[in-house]
A and B are shown apart, each in its own frame.
Chain A
Amino acid sequence: MLALQLLVNGLVTGCALGVVAISFGLIYATTKLFHVAHAGVYTLSGYLAWSLVGHGVPAIGAMVVAMAAAALLGGLIQGVLYAELERRRATHLVVLIASLGTLAVMQNIIAAVYTPNILQFPLPWSSRMVSLGAVRLTWTQILTVVLCLSAFAGIMWFSHRTILGKQIRAVASNPFLAEITRLRPQRIYVTVVAIGSAVVALPGILVPLDLGLQPYSGITPLLTATIAMIAGGIGSIGGSFLVAVGIAVLQNMSLLIMPGEWSIGVTFGIFIIFMLFRPTGLFKGR
Chain B
Amino acid sequence: MDFLYSYIALAEIYVLLGLSTNLLVGIAGIFTVSQAAVFGVGAYIVAYCLMHDVMGFVPALLVAAAICVVLNVLVTLPSLRVSGDYFVVTSFGIQLLATAVFVNWTAGTGGANGLPGIPSPDVFGYQLESSHQLVLLTTVGSALGCLAFWLIMRAPFGRLLRAIREDELAVAAAGKGVLRAKVSAAALAGAFAGSAGGIYATFLSFVDPSSFDLDASILLLTMVVVGGARTLAGSVIGPFLLLALPQVLSLIDIPTSIAASARQLIYGVLLIAFMLFRPQGLAGEKL
Contact = CB atoms under 8 A, between A and B. Distances in A.
Contacts of A272: 78
Contacts of A91: 29, 287
A115 interface: yes
A112 B103 contact: no
Contacts of B257: 115
Contact of A220 (B25, B31, B82, B96): B96
Interface residues of B, number: 44
Nearest to B103: A261
A103 B268 CA distance: 7
A227 to B, nearest CB: 6
Given A90-B275, A264-B93, A107 B221 contact: no
Contacts, number: 126
A57 B270 CA distance: 36
Nearest to B33: A100
Contacts of B58: none
Contacts of B271: 97-98, 100-101, 104
A96 B87 CA distance: 12
A107 to B, nearest CB: 7
A216 B153 CA distance: 37
A262 B267 contact: no
Contacts of B83: 279
B107 interface: no
Contact of A223 (B84, B92, B260, B269): B92
A104 B96 contact: no
Interface of B is mostly: helix
B157 interface: no
Interface of A is mostly: helix
Contact residues on A (Cβ < 8 Å of other chain), bracket = 35 or more
Interface in A135-152: none
Nearest to B217: A100
Interface stretch (A62-70, A81-89, A121-129, A172-180): A81-89
B93 to A, nearest CB: 4
Contact of B93 (A93, A95, A223): A223
Nearest to B92: A223
B6 interface: no
10 contacts: A93-B287, A94-B287, A100-B271, A101-B267, A108-B264, A112-B265, A259-B104, A261-B100, A262-B100, A275-B78
Interface of A: 34, 36, 81, 84-85, 88, 90-98, 100-109, 111-112, 115-116, 215-216, 219-220, 223, 226-227, 230, 259, 261-262, 264-265, 267-268, 271-272, 275-276, 279
